[in-house]
Amino acid sequence: MLQTLRDHFGHDAFRGGQEPVVRALLEGRSALAVFPTGGGKSLCYQLPALLLDGLTLVVSPLIALMKDQVDALVAKGISAARLDSTLDADEIRDVYARLDAGSLKLLYIAPERFANEAFRQRLKRLPIQLAAIDEAHCISEWGHNFRPDYLKLAKICRSLKIPRVLCLTATATPKVAREIRKHFRIAAADHVQLSFHRSNLDLRVTPCTADERKSLLLEKLTAVDGPAVVYVTRQETAEEVATFLAKSGLSARAYHAGLPAEFRTDAQGAFMAGDTRIIVATIAFGMGIDKSNIRAVYHYNLPKSLENHTQEIGRAGRDGQPAICEMLACGDDLTVLENFIYSDTPSPRAFGNLIDRVLRLGPVFDVSPYDLSTICDIRPSVIATVMTYLEIDGIIEATGTFYATYRAKLLNTPEKILAGRAPAERKFIQQILDSGELKRWWLYFYPTPLAEKLGVSRDKIVSAINGMQTAGDITLGVSGVRHGYKLKKDPGDLKQLSERLVEKFQSRELADLARLSQVLGLSAYRGCLTGYLTKHFGETLSEPCGHCDRCRGLPAKVIKRRKYRRATDEEIAAVKNLVDEKHAALATPRQLARFLCGMASPAATRARLTRHEAFALLDDLPFAEVLVISEVA
């Protein structure tokens, strides 16, 4: 074991916590590793992968992290690969060939790939010895970052008869850790948890008003040397704050999901290389970022939870040198954060509409998440969660993901494309080409209805189209993702099923609000701030940390909300005018309230209503108050 550690990873000894995790896996037991960010989690499965006779499957939600880890392993001479949406058909075929040949030791995949029935069947033929599940806290419905596909992983691992599973996370509370252990049948003795106390991180909380926050941030960033990350809640805030800092003479750039991919890549690259000192970002930035010399992390807006806060400050000071982690705590942020939580819960009517549409489609069906989201006016992430709940309950089973539309630009004449083919194949390809709907320079193909028309399988048509691309006869594009399902059992009373889902989401709403109140508690806490955070994760410090605001003698302060204003007569009149316009996307009070709070719903976005002058008209008011206004408008 130590020899492999030296030969492949260049270490003479294990870091804290790594050895008991590795030993548990090599002895055939599953384990849970709760290590803080930068604690060396990846070695816990990479080393056993080399010592076990078979394949190690690594489940990760982050494509960038998968790529980085695979590249690093390959550079060490370790046979590793990934399957993700950035690979082309030839690259995917190469990975499958290596899997079938048994030459791969580690395969990295996203959890969503298990939705493909053919992929699951392929895995059943492989000698999988270990499944490593990164960001395992995503399995918890009551955690801070629930991802529905994670909820299915325990069941999938059992169906594949994987003998041992390693769950890894940097942010699991005792409740979430118990849930992970229960799902994956991990003994409490094989739950290895390191301390969340990092002595080089200086924790600070500075209550402030919205008006003074920008100048306060500028003052603090000017006083600190080295790279810094500033976390904000909204994309527009990232742009605004980055522009302000740049105009004030600091090297700063914005990073958020709304930027084009090349802008994000360039901003991240400049920060990593040291060309940009400060990155102002939403939580889209940071996952998998391994920059060791970040000297400060500032929360310009309140984080949504202590887990988010801990994960984000964990990116500071990975080189072991001192780093500042400061929250600029403004009560005005509470309204926006709470409104996000409230607006994410669909109305009972929307749930009923979704369940009715999905479960009346027949024994075998497919749906477009985008279409369902728009028609039912439910966010795509919530649609995915509902479908997962139906799978967990055994009502439906995922069969795969496919594209509804293929578009091809011919690079050769039809005669040349058909030349040299056997008569039956030539006839089949001709039928496909004849079915193409010409729009400008592209031929559009719709494999599902074409398969029914020709009496062949959909796969045969897709294979023929892909074959033309491989032969260099066409340039191919795809669109319209659809998810296939099978109905496994009678769902029973659909109204009762819908009501159960409503209750589940309302419970999650309350849990999210409770997490936000824990963030407020950090500022009001009279004891050691580091101790407040570690206690949240089930760890009691033996003594105060000695390097936080409280340990320095700075007093605790309760974060106060600004007194809410009342909506003006002009605003009430504007709401009534909006209702009189009778937009289908704003037909219910909850839809209208979300819109007025500045929360773009799928239906409102598709109808381009976010450009309406009334959008976000009341975004500084609590959702409950805006909902009352919407109900009487």
Where is average pLDDT lowest: 119-123, 186-190, 574-578, 626-630? Answer: 119-123
pLDDT at 189: 97
Where is average pLDDT lowest: 23-27, 83-87, 106-110, 546-550? Answer: 83-87
Max intra-chain CA distance, the chain: 87
Tens of pLDDT along 290-327? Answer: 788 999 999 999 999 999 999 899 899 999 999 999 99
pLDDT exceeds 70 at position 288: no
DSSP 113-159: GGG-HHHHHHHHTS-EEEEEETTGGGG-TTSSS--HHHHTHHHHHHH
pLDDT category at 10 given cuts 50, 70, 90 is confident
b/e code 571-581 from CB counts within 10 Å (16+ = b): beebbeebbee
Tens of pLDDT along 131-140? Answer: 999 999 998 8
143 vs 170, more confident: 170
What's the average model confidence in pLDDT over 532-541? Answer: 94
Whole-number Å distance between alpha carbons of 374 and 603: 5
Tens of pLDDT along 561-592? Answer: 878 889 999 999 999 999 999 999 999 998 99
pLDDT category at 117 given cuts 50, 70, 90 is confident
pLDDT category at 215 given cuts 50, 70, 90 is very high
Whole-number Å distance between alpha carbons of 309 and 289: 16
DSSP letter for 368, please: -
pLDDT exceeds 60 at position 617: yes
Tens of pLDDT along 438-465? Answer: 998 899 999 999 999 999 998 899 989 9
pLDDT at 390: 94
User: Residue type for 230, please?
Assistant: V
Q: Domains plus CATH for the chain?
A: 2-193 (3.40.50.300), 201-332+520-536 (3.40.50.300), 379-487 (no CATH), 569-632 (no CATH)
b/e code 250-279 from CB counts within 10 Å (16+ = b): bebbbbbeebeeeebebbbeebeeeebbbb
Using a 10 angstrom Cβ sphere, with 0-12 exposed, 13-18 middle and 19 or more buried, the burial of residue 4 is middle
What's the average model confidence in pLDDT over 171-192? Answer: 94
88 vs 184, more confident: 184
Whole-number Å distance between alpha carbons of 486 and 77: 42
End-to-end CA distance of the chain: 70
pLDDT category at 68 given cuts 50, 70, 90 is confident
pLDDT category at 175 given cuts 50, 70, 90 is very high
pLDDT at 340: 85
pLDDT at 283: 81
pLDDT category at 21 given cuts 50, 70, 90 is very high
pLDDT at 560: 86
DSSP letter for 105, please: S
pLDDT category at 428 given cuts 50, 70, 90 is very high
pLDDT at 144: 61
pLDDT exceeds 80 at position 264: yes
pLDDT at 105: 96
**Claim: this prediction has a pTM higher than 0.85:** no
pLDDT at 286: 61
* φ, ψ at 281 (rounded to 5°): -140, 155
- Which two three-digit tokens encode residue 556? 């605790």
pLDDT at 6: 79
pLDDT at 401: 84
Mean pLDDT of the chain: 91
